[in-house]
Amino acid sequence: MKQYYPKNGRVILHVDMNSFFAAVEMAYDSSLKGKPLAIAGNPDERKGIVVTCSYEARKFGVKTTMTVWEAKKLCPQIIIMRPNFQRYREASTAMFSILRQYSNLVEPVSIDEGYIDITESSELGTPIQIAEKIQKQLVQELDLPCSIGIAPNKFLAKMASDMKKPMGITILRKRDVPDKLWPLPLIEMHGIGKKTAEKLSSIGIRKICDLAKADDIQLRHLLGVRGLQLKERANGEDKRKVDPDSANEFKSVGSSLTLPKDIANQHELLAYLKKLSEETANRLKKKEYYTTNVSITIRYKNRQTITRSRKLQNPIYKMQDIFAAAKDLFLKHWNGNPVRLLGVTGQDLVERFQAVEQLDLFSYEKEAKKEPLYNAMEMLRKKFGKHAVTKGVSLKGSSHRPSIKDDIDSI
């Protein structure tokens, strides 16, 4: 079998579960199989958000992030179910347990996808035979379908797994890049979101081939070092290793400040804490990370220093979310004595493009929690008119004062 493996390279699989939440529900209740199914926050609320849907529903045009109302309009017979997060976590744990039977080098990326380095697993068969075994075992033991990409690096493996869904297996070699990747629109490239695609489009880069041949100076000016990394990916280059410990790797971004004087006024201290949260958020944005753990540092007049942290349920990056966590920690642990130094830090970071690549368990739970807000907004509109509640209304240059001003993103 050694002949099927490179002498000086790696063989990496990217395993991507197909319509994971919906597939788990179908595995749990076989009567749902073959039917259009969507998982959403509130089946009875038109503002409920579709987090995933079966391929039967997709045939009608139903998509992730669509509202329940839109999904039902496209597919009146669609079945809408509330999410069962515990069930999905258990299925994810079982899925990764199976993957580790084929290699010790397994790196989870999210609840339903991960990389496997099978370079040293030649005794189990050829790369495509191993992929077929994994696919078959996941279906037989968990009744869950997946697509698998086979490639010499993580980027190409990820791109390959997206090429055939559901239940596809795709091999993507570096020599295939000009024919298979370069003709694709830039937005279809892993690691490039809508905003990045718009920025690149402004300098005439609209396809992956354009990025692969782009000028380094232009890219660095537009996107910094990230631009050069994306160009490498567009040319099929990716030196990242499959790291089983990456999910637990300690990373942090933060900001601290020695106060101009010892301060014991809570209002002033919270104002500084908010400023530090903003600086931390800006640094996260610059480095393109989300944080899953916020910590604060408090140093008192007598130089006694305490650090307290809070593990978050959902990855965050916005200032208001970081400040909310930092403020909660501060009010809980500040003893009321004068403070000399404050610090706010985001820890256990995850790359932003991975965190927002799909509306996964974490971001979905956050959206689902907004359902009561959407309900209240809808009731107010029905009672007082559709303009009674608006999102992020600016009062500048207007004599009209809305009855209610809200900004959903700040909640």
Q: Annotated active-site positions, please? A: 113
Angstrom distance (rounded) from CA 306 to CA 283? 23
Closest by CA to 149, choosing from 122, 171, 178, is 171
Q: Kindly give the residue spans of alpha helices, DSSP state H, lying in 59-152.
A: 68-74, 85-99, 127-142
Q: Which residues pair with 117 in a beta bridge?
A: 12
Distances (CA, A) of 247 to 238, 283, 292: 19, 20, 11
Amino acid at site 127? P
Q: Is 20 within 8 Å of 88 (Cβ atoms)?
A: yes
Structural tokens at position 29? 């209740």
The one-character DSSP state at 304 is -
Provide the 10 A C-beta neighbour count for residue 278.
17
Give the single-character DSSP code of 49. Answer: B
| Distance in angstroms (rounded) separating the CA atoms of residues 341 and 348 | 23
Q: How many of the other CB atoms lie within 10 Å of CB of 178? A: 14
Token pair listed for 318: 């916005």
Q: Phi and psi of 363, rounded to 5°?
A: -70, -30
DSSP 325-374: HHHHHHHHH--SS-EEEEEEEEEEEEEHHHHSSS--HHHHHHHHTTHHHH
Q: Please tell me whether 29 is known to bind a ligand.
A: no
- 112 has binding-site annotation: yes
Tokens of 45: 């609320």
CB-based contact 68:378 (threshold 8 Å): no
Q: Which residues make Cβ contacts (< 8 Å) with residue 316, sequence separation at least 6?
A: 290, 291, 292, 294, 322, 325
Separation of alpha carbons 167 and 147, rounded Å: 5
Which residue in 98, 102, 22 sits closest to 57, CA to CA? 22
Length of the chain measured in residues: 411
Question: Which secondary structure element, helix H or strand E, spans residue 177, and what is its range?
Answer: helix 177-180
Provide the CA 66 distance to its chain's centre, in angstroms: 17
Annotated binding site for Mg(2+): 16, 112
Annotated binding site: 16, 112
